[in-house]
Amino acid sequence: MKYRHFALPLLASLTLLTACSKEETSAPSAPSAPTAAVTTPIEAAQALDVLAAQGKGFAAGKILSANAVYVLFDPQCPHCARLWEASMPLHTSVKFVWLPVAIMNAKSAPQGAAIMTATNPVQAMAAHETSLLAGSGGTAASADIAPDVLAAIKTNTALLERLGATSVPYIVARHQRSNQVVMQAGANDTQSLATFLGL
């Protein structure tokens, strides 16, 4: 798709101000001895299928929609919080699947686990993002994470890297009008997000 090829360099330069990148000094250690299958880059055409099959998170919005929009986010990223807020008005027409990753700091994985395992993840996410944007650091979460939940967050983080992303939030969707897979790093306001999704 011509739009995507021309827009990616521009988006990359613009998202420096609207995305959070990995902090090398405080990021959790990578899973030990990754296999070739785990580190294989994901092509755009397969991105949605791979995220649907391997990503773990929670759905928000129009749950029964067959066309999901995947958002890889770090709970410590304020830009992810802004994207969460911008997505709210679209919940009546779009199914968002939020996949927590851990690239920012030591709070990322525990907070992602707390949101994923909450009785109502959407409500937990809303409270967390409100706290984060208010400067309160987000949800208090135990560092004691169930092994399967931690494995899911590590898988999501590996998926982010395999997509070639270096920052969050990272959106992967099928454009409603062109039917092409589109990917973008960084937060949008509601109107820009709707345009990006082809709504």
Per-residue model confidence (pLDDT) at position 21: 67
Cα separation, 199 vs 113, in Å, equals: 31
2-8+44-197 under CATH 3.40.30.10, yes or no: yes
The structure tokens 């706290």 sit at: 131
Cα separation, 77 vs 41, in Å, equals: 24
Reported as type and span, the H/E element at residue 47 is: helix 44-54
Cα separation, 131 vs 127, in Å, equals: 6
24, pLDDT greater than 70: no
Q: What is the pLDDT averaged over residues 121-145?
A: 94
Q: Does the global pTM surpass 0.85?
A: no
Burial class of residue 32 (count of CB atoms within 10 Å of its CB; 0-12, 13-18, 19+):
exposed
Q: What is the pLDDT averaged over residues 190-196?
A: 96
